[in-house]
Amino acid sequence: MRIILHSPLDMHLHLRQGEMMQAVTPFSAGQFAGAVIMPNLVSPVDSLEKAAVYKKEILQCGNTENFRPYMTLFFKQYSRQELIEARDSIIGIKLYPAGITTQSEKGVTDFSAINSTLGYMEELGIPLLIHGETAGFVMDREKEFLPIYRQFAEDFPNLHIIMEHITTADAVQLLDRYANISATVTLHHLMITLDDVIGGQLEPDLFCKPIAKTPKDLAALQDAVFSGHPQIMFGSDSAPHPRHKKECCGCAAGIFSAPVILPLLAELFEDAGKLNLLQGFISDIACTRYALQPLEKNITLEQKPWKIPELYNDLKPFGAGRVLRWSQLQ
Ligand code: DOR
Ligand code: ZN
């Protein structure tokens, strides 16, 4: 049996820079027609010029002939004129609360002081992608951030707001109240809970932000995705870090899932009896929510066992060593 996926899209991806970018980009470019590229570089992507340079660097990596990087800007206070100029070159602006995750130090400190930029974004039709966590207790950070989503959704009813990498039942519920809010869900948050991260031996390769939550939260995410929720799309949040940044004190947050995404998603959807909903999750819902017309690209998966490698050079992939039922037809 085979599955053909039309123009798969990864709506949340970290490609990094330099050698790391060259190593990881081909995995995403080989599976996806396009991906939303996160701007949290060492020097954040916070101008049109930086976005153009970064896009060019990405497109010089291997396998990218038929791959579209959808660029984002790092949220700061932008003028209306800056946003008018940027509008056609970006898919959205990514907001990080200051210091909440990797390379987010230049993020937002005062959420009541950014209304002018949000107003311009609403007027100009530029989506707002948010890493929605407070600095509170780690398991409550997403829940505590929900009032800010609510406030933005009500104050800017025509602004498309995307709750990135949601992990809680509460976030899923919020979608029902606001038509202008969407969400992305990662592969790993559809599979693991906090128990997998710290319940046995500490698993640095499963440490990410937001941290995986409770069995109830996992069930809520699965129920939403496996019922074809029309506001939820796939975003891997694949976030590679070299071994010495993972296997150390002060382990960096991030799961490197890029090499395994489509075969593993096929397995999950098949196990849930919902293979028919995979196309929506992996592309169609994102196209509707973002009004995208992606590159034409068909990816075929075949039912042929594939063992996920233990390592890709210095990077450990999500699911390392696991044997999957599906593999990508090359
Ligand atoms: O786990 C994470 N890693 N979460 C983020 O929000 C950022 C990312 C990264 O850039 O490493
Ligand atoms: Zn991310």
For residue 13, which ligand has an atom nearest its CA? 2
322 in the Ramachandran plot: left (φ > 0), alpha (ψ -120 to 50) or beta? beta
In this model, does residue 160 exceed pLDDT 90? yes
Say yes or no: CB of residue 104 within 6 Å of ligand 1: no
The confidence score (pLDDT) of residue 297 equals 98
Pocket test for ligand 1, best of 12, 13, 40 (most atoms within 8 A of CB): 40
pLDDT digits (tens, 9 = 90+) for 122-152: 999 999 999 999 999 999 999 999 999 999 9
The confidence score (pLDDT) of residue 127 equals 99
SS3 326: coil
pLDDT digits (tens, 9 = 90+) for 214-247: 999 999 999 999 999 999 999 999 999 999 999 9
The confidence score (pLDDT) of residue 88 equals 98
CB 45 within 8 A of CB 21: no
Say yes or no: CB of residue 28 within 6 Å of ligand 1: no
Type of residue numbered 275:
L
Say yes or no: CB of residue 186 within 6 Å of ligand 1: no
Say yes or no: CB of residue 294 within 6 Å of ligand 1: no
Mean pLDDT of 273-287: 98
What tokens appear for 34 in the block? Answer: 């396009």
Phi/psi of residue 317, nearest 5 degrees? -80, 155
Instruction: Give pTM, 2 decimals.
Output: 0.98
Q: Quote the mean pLDDT of the chain.
A: 98
Percent of the chain with pLDDT over 70: 100
CB 261 within 8 A of CB 250: no
Could you tell me the distance, in angstroms and rounded to a whole number, from the CA of residue 225 to the centre of ligand 1? 22
The confidence score (pLDDT) of residue 313 equals 95
The confidence score (pLDDT) of residue 330 equals 83
Q: Considering only CA atoms, which of 232, 233, 226, 251 is closest in space to residue 241?
A: 251
- Is the domain 7-297 a CATH 3.30.2320.30 member? no
Residue of the nearest CA to atom 2 in ligand 1? 254
Q: How far is CA 56 from the centre of its chain?
A: 21
CB 188 within 8 A of CB 212: yes
Is 176 considered catalytic here?
Answer: no
Q: Considering only CA atoms, which of 235, 234, 241, 236 is closest in space to residue 205?
A: 241
Say yes or no: CB of residue 8 within 6 Å of ligand 1: no
SS3 168: coil
Q: What is the DSSP letter of 67?
A: -
pLDDT digits (tens, 9 = 90+) for 78-119: 999 999 999 999 999 999 999 999 899 999 999 999 999 999
For residue 209, which ligand has an atom nearest its CA? 1
Q: Which of 237, 271, 284, 314 is catalytic?
A: 237
Token look-up 């949040």 returns 237
Rounded CA gap, 311 and 320, in Å? 7
SS (H, E, C) 257-295: CHHHHHHHHHHHHHHCCCHHHHHHHHHHHHHHHHCCCCC
Rounded CA gap, 288 and 78, in Å? 27
For residue 255, which ligand has an atom nearest its CA? 1
The confidence score (pLDDT) of residue 28 equals 98
SS3 327: strand
Instruction: Find the angle CA(201)-CA(203)-CA(209) to the nearest 5 degrees.
Output: 135
**Closest ligand 1 atom, CA of 14?**
10
Which sequence spans correspond to the domains of the chain?
7-297
What residues are neighbours of ligand 2 (ion), with CB under 5 Å? 237
Say yes or no: CB of residue 141 within 6 Å of ligand 1: no
